[in-house]
A and B are shown apart, each in its own frame.
Chain A
Amino acid sequence: MSTLQHFGKGTLRVVKNYTKGYSDTQAKVRDATSNDPWGPSGTQMNEIAQMSYNQNDFVEIVEMLDKRLNDKGKNWRHVFKSLTLIDYLLHAGSENVVAYFRKNLYLIKTLKEFQYLDEYGKDQGANVRQKAKDITNLLSDESRLREERRTRANMRERLGGSSRN
């Protein structure tokens, strides 16, 4: 754990994870989609992707993503990073993730008009809108998604990564 996480909001998140009784899986998703201005890291996303192959973890992951996706404008980073994580999971996570977000596509589609101007008048909503568009297009194009998932799986194999079960 990096020292930064012991300060400020990181600490609060750790406390919240504890007091609200979040499981390890939920805490991982919360960390990956936090308000910190960096990340989610590849390691974090990969770990969550592997966890999505377990049915219980899968349910907890989408539950937490659901909360984050529906967060308010001020927490646009929650929304943006959830979309980033979803994009990753669609490529490297279990088929359940693909099925779930295809069925609930409207959750993402309706973020195409997400709006938020920060205190400096900067349009932070644009990031969310673009990401929502990209994912909507990906989910609407079955063959492209298949192809991208296959390429990714092949690459992992060639790089000698452990195969998923």
Chain B
Amino acid sequence: YPTRPVDKDKAEQELVVNIKKATSPEESAPKQKHVRKCIVYTWDYHSSISFWTGLRVQPILADEVQTFKALITVHKVLQEGHPVTLKEAHGQTGWLETCARTVGHESPKGYGTLIRAYVQFILAKLRFHRLRPEFNGLFEYEEYVTLKGVDDPNEGYEIISDLMGLQDQIDGFQRMIFAHFRGSANNECRISALVPLVKESWGIYRFITSMLRAMHRRTTDTEALEPLRTRFSSQHYNLRKFYYECSNLKYLTGLINVPKLGQDPPNLLDRGGA
């Protein structure tokens, strides 16, 4: 199957170790090298079944930090794994709901609320991808998808509304993560959950921008798009604030480039890039 020189039995064994290490009890970021191996596995074998099985057999639900790290790992594998991962994830919603149910409300390290919100977000993401399988896990820009929606304005309107719904969920969740920072402690574990959120929100933002532009070009009835413009504008300001706050987190800026948005939302009626 893979074009790379690999050994399936060895890969399966290593996957178990990688999942275990990515979801270790240390209150730190899931180590990227282990997350990366999980992602690479799904591409090598065009399957994520062993990844999910591996998660389910690990005793992670007893510990809130391990559960939270498992959700970060899941989120990253959904974003960057082989496209089949998103499809196969639909069969895993039961396990995700169990993660949210198992953690107590008065969890000592304060991850309970975050875990429940993370599960809600991942389930919303999966619902979106089920309806619109043409999007990849990071909403990376593909011209044909944009055009497809534009040809049918109603369809385009709905896609944009759905994307905006997801963007609002990201915004709500990131605010909650910031609100749960602890003054004295190092917040690396919590911050590491912001990394996939920055990437995903940026993908969605770019997509919405270019799609809205394309729709404005195709239609003479710009009045009808007014509700989307208003919502786009308010999401722009929220996202700008989110990225600004992220840019002050040294741990995070060391890992990814946090995008910088202009003071005001871009003009949807001109022809520039996103």
Q: Nearest chain-A residue to B256 (Cβ)? A: A113
Are B32's CB and A107's CB within 8 A? no
Within 8 A of B (CB), among A118-165: 123, 126, 129
Tell whether A104 is near chain B: CB-to-CB under 8 Å.
Answer: yes
Are B4's CB and A66's CB within 8 A? yes
Tell whether A109 is near chain B: CB-to-CB under 8 Å.
Answer: yes
Q: Tell me the smallest distance from the CB of B129 to a CB of chain A, in Å.
A: 18
Are A113's CB and B195's CB within 8 A? yes
Contacts of A126 in B (CB 8 A): 254
Interface size on B, residues (CB 8 A): 16
CA distance A165 to B40 in the complex (A): 34
Given contacts A113-B32, A115-B255, contact A106 B195 (CB under 8 A): no
Tell whether B5 is near chain A: CB-to-CB under 8 Å.
Answer: yes
Within 8 A of A (CB), among B193-239: 195
Tell whether B39 is near chain A: CB-to-CB under 8 Å.
Answer: yes
Interface band, chain A: 20 to 34
Q: Tell me the smallest distance from the CB of B137 to a CB of chain A, in Å.
A: 12
Tell whether B64 is near chain A: CB-to-CB under 8 Å.
Answer: no
Given contacts A106-B40, A106-B80, A110-B40, contact A115 B3 (CB under 8 A): no
Q: Tell me the smallest distance from the CB of B26 to a CB of chain A, in Å.
A: 15
Contacts of B43 in A (CB 8 A): 104, 106
Contacts of B3 in A (CB 8 A): 100, 103-104
Return the contact of A63 from the options B5, B82, B255 (Cβ within 8 A).
B5
Contacts of A73 in B (CB 8 A): 33
Contacts of A112 in B (CB 8 A): 256
Q: Tell me the smallest distance from the CB of B272 to a CB of chain A, in Å.
A: 19
Within 8 A of A (CB), among B220-274: 254-256
Are B39's CB and A106's CB within 8 A? yes
Are B195's CB and A110's CB within 8 A? no
Within 8 A of A (CB), among B9-41: 31-33, 36, 39-40
Are B4's CB and A104's CB within 8 A? yes
Are B32's CB and A114's CB within 8 A? yes
Are B80's CB and A109's CB within 8 A? yes
CA distance A161 to B5 in the complex (A): 34
Per-position contact with A for B153-196: 1 when CB-CB < 8 Å, else 0? 00000000000000000000000000000000000000000010
Are A72's CB and B39's CB within 8 A? no
Within 8 A of A (CB), among B71-101: 80, 82
Are B40's CB and A107's CB within 8 A? yes
Interface residues of B (CB under 8 A from A): 3-5, 31-33, 36, 39-40, 43, 80, 82, 195, 254-256
14 of the cross-chain contacts (CB-CB < 8 Å) are A66-B4, A72-B33, A73-B33, A103-B3, A104-B43, A106-B39, A106-B43, A106-B82, A110-B40, A110-B80, A115-B32, A115-B255, A123-B254, A126-B254
